[in-house]
Structure 1
């Protein structure tokens, strides 16, 4: 039986808990809850299970880049350098490139919206 421990893996990523420590904590909790016993040990979670669960997912990284744009004003073209936030999206395992986004602003809400838009486009292609 495959168990999806999404909240656990997210909490481990946020707090920096290792795969081994996460497995120890999960198994201790299962034991306290009576799910793991000497007779019933099929629900034991090992560090490799945690590692696999953490490896799957969409990862992103952003940075501010100077971007050269062309502005046409009064029939005259000029180049201007602006600073833009660029966010790259990859799917793991395998580091499959999903795309990149340039949010309208650098706020977390705008970055989130941009990432969700790309994910919606990706799901339509599948």
Structure 2
């Protein structure tokens, strides 16, 4: 197993597979089509994007050229780790700005079960290196 940096394109590819293999995200997100950009706060390091079409993650990797993300999620690696471990809920992390969230909040809140499951999947990538 090789090391995978948090929010790197390699992380995004593995995350895409986890998303599709998880019924709560795949089935629960059938109404969702979006591009999510993932970032680690305070680092000039990797940025990745996940594209979801009707609940299926169809892309995971480097930012898609000329494609503005629908949502941008930014947090310190320690916060990503706490959310992934279930120590902080996704809703709490967003509302308290531990995760800086840019995008239509109403859409996110109306799909909170999918969002919560998706954020917990962040830490399930094999070989993940948190960087904190």
Larger Cα-atom Rg: 1
TM-score by length of 1: 0.27
Select the structure that is richer in strand.
1
Whose relative contact order is higher, 1 or 2, with alpha carbons under 8 Å and at least 6 apart?
2
